Amino acid sequence: MSPLSPSLDTIAVTAGRTASGGSLAPPLWTTSTFELGGDVDARRLATTPGEARFYGRHGNPTVAAFEDAVAQMEGAEAALAFASGMGALSAVVLGLCSRGSHIVAARQLYGGARQLLSGPCARFGIDVTFVDATRPGALSEAVEPGRTVLVVAESPANPRLDLVDLDELGAIQGPFTVVDSTFATPFGQRPLAHGVDLVVHSATKAMAGHNDALLGVVCGSRDLVEWLWGFAVLQGAPASPFDAMNGLRGLRTLGVRFRQQTATALALAEALEGLAAVREVRHPGLASHPQADLARRQMQLTGGLVSFEVAGGADAARRFVAALRLVRHAASLGGPETLVCHPASTSHAGLREEELAEAGISGGSVRISCGLEDPADIIDDVRNALRSTALPASPTEPALTATA
Ligand SMILES: *Cc1c(COP(=O)(O)O)cnc(C)c1O
C-alpha cells in the first residue's frame, strides 16, 4: 500500500480557505481584472506565476483556492487549473515539448489525449511512440535518453480500466513523467508519492462531481508548475472562476461520493460477471482484473467505473443502451447520475479503426459510471436492459440469453 494521508477527508474539507475571509463557502470572484492602484509594482504582479490579483488569465482568487485544495490533496507543492482536462493535458505536452522532442505514451489513453498526441504533436514535429503500458517495462524501454522529454500515461485508463504501475513510471529517470489520474481521484491513488512528476485530472469528472463544471488541473513541484504557468498564460485556457468554485465544492464531498461509487461499481461488476449476456467485465477491484495485484498495491479505492463487452457486438450494445431506464446515456463520468457510454461512438469516436482495436475497444464495449442512486436499482436496471440484448443481432449470430 502506498502511503495515504489518513487525513485526506479532513484535507478535502479544510483546504483552499486561506483567502475566504469568514465565508464557509468559497467566495466567487467573477472579475476579469483588478485595480492596481498608483503605487503598486505592476511589473512584478504581471510576471508573478499564478498571481491571483492582476488579470484573470494569470490567476484568480477562486481558482487559486481550488488549486490549493487539489495540491494539498495530491501532496503536491503546487497546482494549476485549466478550462478543461484537455486544457491541462495540452499545456503539459505543448509547454514541455518542442520540435524534435520525443514522447513515450501509453496507447491506453482517453480518446482526446490520444488524438492530441497523434495529430497536433505530429504536425508540430513532436515524435510520439505509443506502447502497451500494461506490460511491465514497456514505458521505460521506449525512452530514448537525451531525446525523450515526456512519458504520458493514464491509470486507470479510459475506458477499459487498464492500470499503469506507478512505481515503475515514477522510477523513470530523464524525461518528465505525467499520469492522468482522473479515474482515481486523490482518494484512489496519489501518483506523486510514487515519484511521478506531474498528475493531471479532468476535474470535470468525479472531482467537481456534479456534471456542472468543465475543469482541469495539473499538480507537481512548484518549479514545474510555474514553468507550465508560463505557457498556460499564453495558451489562454484558464479555469473559469465559477467552475473552480463548483470544483472546490465538489472536493468537499469527494470522499463520501467516491467511496460509495467504488462500492456500487464493485457490486455491479460482481453481479455482471456471472451473466451470459456480457463478456470481459472489468473493474480494478475485481479479483479477475488482469492487474488486480497492482490495483491492491497502488489504489486505496478503485473508483466508480465498470466496463464490459455486450455479447452480440455493436447491435446488442445499442439495444442495451436503449433499454436502460435509470442509467442515462451521456459522455461523462463521476457525477451523481449513473451514466452509460459507448466509447467507440463517444469518448473515442475520433480514433481510427486500428487505434480503437489497439485500445481494446470494440462495437460491443460499454462503460458505466456508477452514480449515487441506490446500488440495487442500478444493478436491476442494467440486468433488465441486458435481457433485451438476447435477441439475435443477425441471422448468423446465435441467440444470447442472460442467466439472471
Ligand atoms: C474526460 C477526460 C479527459 C478530458 O477532460 P475534459 O475535462 O473533458 O477536457 C481527460 N482524461 C480522462 C481520463 C477523461 O476521462
Q: Whose CA is nearest to atom 1 of ligand 1?
A: 202
Structure-block grid coordinates of residue 33: 481584472
- Ligand 1 atom with the smallest distance to the CA of 214 is 7
pLDDT greater than 80 at residue 368: yes
For residue 129, is pLDDT > 50? yes
Q: Is 285 in contact with 264 (CB distance < 8 Å)?
A: no
The residue ranges of every structural domain in the chain are: 8-252, 254-390
Residue nearest to atom 5 of ligand 1 (CA): 85
Amino acid 220: pLDDT: 98
The pLDDT, as a whole number, for residue 41 is 85
Please state, in angstroms and rounded to a whole number, the distance separating the CA atoms of residues 281 and 198: 30
Distance 159 CA to ligand 1 centre (A): 11
What tens digit of pLDDT does each residue of 260-273 get? 999 999 999 999 99
Strand partners, 369: 305, 339
The whole model's pTM is what?
Answer: 0.94
In this prediction, residues 197-214 reach a mean pLDDT of 98
So what's the architecture of 254-390 in CATH?
Alpha-Beta Complex (3.90)
Strand 216-220 relative to strand 78-82: parallel, antiparallel, unpaired? Answer: antiparallel
Is 266 exposed, middle or buried (CB count within 10 Å of its CB: 0-12, 13-18, 19+)?
A: buried
Separation of 336 CA from ligand 1 center, angstroms? 17
180 is catalytic: yes
Catalytic, 44? Answer no
Per-residue cell: 390 = 438476447
pLDDT digits (tens, 9 = 90+) for 222-239: 999 999 999 999 999 999
Here the cell at position 257 is 461520493
Distance CA 176, CA 172 (A): 8
Q: Give the model confidence (pLDDT) of 274-322 as tens digits.
A: 899 999 999 999 999 999 999 999 999 999 999 999 999 999 999 999 9
Q: In the chain, what percentage of residues exceed pLDDT 90?
A: 86
Query: What are the residues whose beta carbons fall under 8 Å from the beta carbon of 232, sequence distance 6 or more?
Result: 80, 82, 91, 95, 238
Q: Which CATH class is domain 8-252?
A: alpha beta
The rounded distance, in Å, linking the Cα atoms of 345 and 337 is 20
Amino acid letter, residue 79: A
Confirm if 78 and 71 have CB atoms less than 8 A apart: yes
Q: How confident is the model over 56-69, as pLDDT tens digits? A: 999 999 999 999 99
| Res. 2 pLDDT band, cuts 50 70 90 | very low
365 lines ligand 1 (CB under 6 A): no
Ligand 1 centroid distance, CA of 395 (Å): 39
Give 387-399 pLDDT, tens digit per residue: 988 755 455 544 4
Q: Which atom of ligand 1 is nearest to the CA of 183?
A: 13
Query: 191-195, 328-332, 377-381, 393-397: which range is least confident on average?
Result: 393-397
C-beta 214 within 6 A of ligand 1: yes
Where does the pLDDT of residue 358 fall: very low under 50, low under 70, confident under 90, or very high at 90 and above?
A: confident
Under the banding of pLDDT at 50, 70 and 90, the label for residue 402 is very low
Is residue 307 lining ligand 1, measured as CB closer than 6 Å?
no
